[in-house]
Homo-oligomer: A and B are copies of this chain.
Amino acid sequence: SQSLKFGEDWIFLFLLGISMATISFGLDVVTSKCQRANLWAYDELEGHRHLQYFSWTFYHVALTVGSAAAAKYISAQAAGSGIPELKVALRGVVLHEFFTLRTFVAKLLGVVCCLAGGSTIFLGKVGPFVHMATILATLLGKVMVWYTGATENPSRKYELLIAGAAVGVACCFVAPVGGVLFGVEVTGTHFAVRDYWRGFFAATCAALTFRLLAVLNNTRETVAVLFRSSWRVEFPYDLPELLSYAILGSFCGGLCCVYLFCHRNMLMVFQNKPKINEFMKNNRILYAGAVSLVLASLTFPHGVGQYIGARLSMKELLETFFNNMTWGREEASLGSATPQPLNLTHDDANWLHWTQQDLSVLEMLVLFLVAKFFMLLAATTMVVPAGYFLPVFVYGAALGRLYGELMAKIFPNGIITDGIRMQVTPAGYALAGAAAYSGAVTQTISTALLTFELTGQMSHILPVLVAVLIANAISQRLQPSFFDGIILVKK
């Protein structure tokens, strides 16, 4: 019987991993099709500026309203990221309706709608996937208990939830190791080595399934290729650069504190002002529609949108930030030589969204950072099922990229140590920025591992860890984490 139970556990984890990976993959396919359809319609209407505006905003408003409706009419528990509630649930608080199939369906529908909005709505999928994976773990656990006729075991339930959280993160990033650690850090305060093994197993099954599906679908997962050949493995960074990475870490930590402060106080206003609170309760869908109208107007590609990469999805934005060129230099050569380079593949060409006649790359990155700061704050006030990790991660990558491009501009000939000239690699700074900023917001350090798994390279392990630790130290001293802030406000 003991032996049977052992086998059951692994079957359970296996099923959990493959089903979440399949859902994640399907969602990626659906949302990218929707985005392409929207861009196609937009381009077909070229010449009719008003129709284009109508089509662009209608697409985004309709999706956001759909998402808000799913949270309102199907299950109220589906709203938000789900991680703060999960954290509370793991500490023993019983949440009504939080782990039900109904909530799962609402969350899935809501997330599909949100993600199809690309980088306009600027929300992500990590939190919802963690929530959905824990729901699936609970439901699968109930089926297993019913099937084997055993009695329910509360400590086993805790293990299932931890494994679920690991699978949820691992599915989003195809990152088994970072997924497990991030899942643990973000939800718990203690964990057993036993649970950590379970999480690893389930997360590996999920990552494998994801990879297999990608091959079957003929879209080879290209996360490992974000950095191309010229990425230096032999001596990827210089010792003086470590200091520069540390400064980037403290920038990320400082900006993160500003963001956390604004976010918490804004939530507080929405919660405590009776009039606003009353209005929000009754007009969630209307409010979501209004906010998305503002956001979509901002990102309209013939308006401000052209300067903030509005036509790119979240994943494509990340790809451009992790791109292994020095944009400043490429831009200069583009201006002087051919206006349309022809020898670039589709993936490489995405970064050309960051070249415009009227603004330089640096100015566009600054504009992106300023706009997205307020757009993200606005997006988090909507009551829709969506994650807040991916936007923060993208934001950090942009911050790091800006810093890296500035460094490359200040030291155009690279930094010289021991007579060896080392070019500055802006992509390395983007990597460190993404890990440090998202780590500081969520107050975790496994974001460093996530970035390594995303890029398939660990050569920047020391600078990235330094940046993450410094950003975390600043953030943990001055502010509660993003998720703890939500818990504090909702208490």
Contacts and interface: CB of A to CB of B under 8 A. Distances in A.
Interface of A: 10, 176-177, 184-185, 188-194, 196-197, 200-201, 204, 207-208, 211-212, 215, 220, 224-225, 227, 233-236, 239, 242, 445, 448-449, 452-453, 455-459, 461-462, 465-466, 469, 472-473
B215 A224 contact: no
Given A190-B193, A208-B466, 10 more contacts: A177-B448, A177-B461, A189-B194, A191-B191, A197-B472, A201-B469, A208-B462, A211-B462, A220-B235, A455-B458
Given A212-B239, A458-B456, A465 B176 contact: yes
A450 to B, nearest CB: 11
Copies in the complex: 2
A189 B192 contact: yes
Given A456-B457, A457-B458, A462-B207, A224 B236 contact: yes
Contact of A465 (B204, B452, B457): B204
Contact of A233 (B194, B197, B225): B225
B225 A234 contact: yes
A459 B224 contact: yes
21 contacts: A177-B461, A184-B193, A189-B192, A190-B193, A197-B445, A204-B466, A207-B461, A207-B465, A208-B462, A211-B239, A211-B462, A215-B239, A224-B233, A225-B233, A225-B234, A227-B233, A452-B458, A453-B458, A453-B461, A456-B458, A458-B458
A469 B192 contact: no
A427 B327 CA distance: 35
A212 B462 CA distance: 11
Contacts of A192: 189-190
- Most chain B CB inside 10 Å of its own CB: which residue of A190, A461, A466: A461
Contact of A193 (B188, B224, B233, B458): B188
Contacts of A177: 448-449, 461, 465
- Most chain B CB inside 10 Å of its own CB: which residue of A192, A196, A233, A457: A233
Contacts of A196: 185
A161 to B, nearest CB: 16
A193 B191 contact: yes
A23 B146 CA distance: 57
Contacts of A462: 176, 204, 207-208, 211
A176 B473 CA distance: 18
A176 B462 CA distance: 8
A149 to B, nearest CB: 25
Contacts of A233: 224-225, 227, 456-457
A191 B190 contact: yes
A208 B458 contact: no
A469 B185 CA distance: 22
Nearest to A231: B233
A215 B176 CA distance: 33
Contacts of A193: 184-185, 188-191
Contacts of A466: 204, 208
A54 B330 CA distance: 65
A224 B462 CA distance: 12
A458 B453 CA distance: 7
A193 B220 CA distance: 35
A452 B233 CA distance: 13
- Most chain B CB inside 10 Å of its own CB: which residue of A211, A235, A456, A466: A456
Contacts of A215: 239
Contacts of A449: 177
A223 to B, nearest CB: 10
Contacts of A176: 461-462, 465
Nearest to A176: B465
A452 B449 CA distance: 11
Contacts of A200: 445, 465, 469
Nearest to A238: B215
A444 to B, nearest CB: 9
